[in-house]
Amino acid sequence: MNLLLQDPFAVLKEFPERLVATLRSPLQATCVAYAPGGEYLACGTAQGAVVVYARDTQRPVQVLGQGAGAGPCHVRPVQSLAWSRDGRRLLSCGQDGLLLVWDLAAAARDPGQGQDRGPEAHVQFDAPVWGACWVEGAGSDGSWCIAASVYERGSAVLLSRDSEGTVHQSPLDADLSATEEDQGYVLVCVAHPVHRDVVVTGSSRGYINFFRCGQRAGEGAGAGADGAVSLLHGSRPTTSNIKHIAIAPSGERLAINSSDRSIRQMAITWENENVALSLEHKYQDVINRLQWNDVQFSSHGGDYLVASPHGSSAHDLYLWETAGGSLVRVLEGADEELMGLDWSFRAMTIAATGLESGDVYEWGLAVQPKWSALAPDFEEIEENIDYREHEDEFDVTSSAQERRATERAARREGEPIDLVTTDERDVRGNEVVQGFVIPLDYAACVARGV
């Protein structure tokens, strides 16, 4: 039902409130990622497959990998997932050291051959891949740029594919590691949501660095292929290893999840080519002294921050508001410890994976239609009522009313009705993203029992 026809006080809430769905699958989920528009939810599994669910139906529409395809696929648990900005490509990396790029338009089963098509590109490393992110999305010529962090490596790896399909590898911060003190291993790398050619890395010794890599966005294909990397900022906000870095969609806030049981919220200030970080808030559970498995920001400005606690007795999600740093809600309903999570602020849902069962829990807004909120004199009824219309009940008795009604009808007939162009913003004020529609392949999903 259209959100405009529902209770506006319930629809316009800024964060989910209750557990609304649980996705149970024989494939144990290890990580989740929402599509840019919130229409799909990708789940990486412990068996190495990637299952893409439609959020409206909560049914799988594609299963990537683990088939008799022509290309490689993961044979160990998937570590992280990342969608391209247009929603057509999906990036997966696993504990088997394999990094795969899937083209969802061509990854469905080929009816003529009865098998799965392989990934668009793959890179094999000699160690597990912690995570990867898109630096530059795929261009019309098939070029793209990806940053990845590999187990026990002191530098992140920059992967760039040119228009001919050749993938180039280069260390992201080779010059820094050679000149500065030992910063440990790079555990996480995240692309800036606004400055797409900027990559933020976090190391095992608490160092955080901002790098500008390759060409600027939109200045040509194969960003990063020339190897031009410059350091914009380097600091050490903590002495513990940095496990996760989350950046708000506006690019003005950054959250650092480290092993010292604290989440640090930093403000990012851009001054030409210089970056400055300042501590805003520090989140921690001073009573239970919990560590945190994953963190994510909410809407465009990062008004809220959600985190999944570590521990066998911790089954909830903690939600803070970032302006004052206070805890506003604890999302309950899960039966186990929660690991990886993602927040789709366009769909207003939070998804998290269970550690033991591998189920995916979704928190959202359970909005009940309230028609009386649109008209004060509207009366809701439980069943249909037979009504007999009086003969003169709807007759027009005034010539002035009749003339005004005729004028309004004439104006409406002359106005063109646009049924194609979508609104620029949705009912919550978020920018509408025209996402990629994945070709449905229910036969392959049913054959695999998901």
130: in domain: yes
pLDDT at 82 over 90: yes
The residue type at 157: V
Q: How does residue 161 score in pLDDT terms, banded at 50, 70 and 90?
A: confident
Integer Cα distance of 285 and 405 in angstroms: 64
Express each pLDDT in 198-220 by its tens digit.
999 999 999 999 998 864 333 33
Count up the domains in the chain and report the number.
1
Q: Is residue 392 part of a domain?
A: no
Higher pLDDT pick, 392 / 134: 134
Distance CA 160, CA 137 (A): 11
- Is residue 88 a part of any domain in this protein? yes
HEC string for the chain = CCHHHCCHHHHCCCCCCEEEEEECCCCCEEEEEECCCCCEEEEEECCCCEEEEECCCCEEEEEECCCCCCCCCCCCCEEEEEECCCCCEEEEEECCCEEEEEECCCCCCECCCCECCCCCEEEECCCCEEEEEEEECCCCCCCEEEEEEECCCCCCEEEEECCCCCEEEEECCHHHHHHCCCCCCEEEEEECCCCCCEEEEEECCCCEEEEEECCCCCCCCCCCCCCCEEEEEEECCCCCCEEEEEECCCCCEEEEEECCCCEEEEEEEEECCEEEEEEEEEECCCCCCCCEEEEEECCCCCCEEEEEECCCCCCCEEEEECCCCCEEEEECCCCCCEEEEEEECCCCEEEEEECCCCCEEEEECCCCCCHHHCCCCCCCCCCCCCCCCCCCCCCCCCHHHHHHHHHHHHHHHHCCCCCCCCCCECCCCCECCCCCCCCCCHHHHHHCCC
Cα–Cα distance, 201 to 373 (Å, whole number): 48
Lowest pLDDT segment from 156-170, 256-270, 337-351: 156-170
pLDDT at 149 over 90: yes
pLDDT value for 176: 56
Domain that holds residue 154: 19-291
Among the residue ranges 71-80, 207-216, 265-274, 423-432, the one predicted with the least confidence is 423-432
Q: What is the CATH number of the domain that holds 283?
A: 2.130.10.10
Residue 247 lies in a domain: yes
**Is 44 domain-assigned?**
yes
Lowest-pLDDT range of 123-127, 155-159, 411-415: 411-415
Q: Report the predicted TM-score, pTM, of the whole model to 2 decimal places.
A: 0.80
Q: Which of 132, 101, 298 is nearest to 199 (CA)?
A: 132
Is 303 a domain residue? no
- The residue that leads in pLDDT, 300 or 238, is 238
Q: Which two tokens stand for residue 168?
A: 């180039």
pLDDT at 279: 93
Q: pLDDT category, 304, cuts 50, 70, 90?
A: very high
Q: Is residue 436 part of a domain?
A: no
Q: Of the candidates 151, 137, 1, 130, which has an alpha carbon nearest to the alpha carbon of residue 78?
A: 130
Establish if 407 belongs to a structural domain.
no
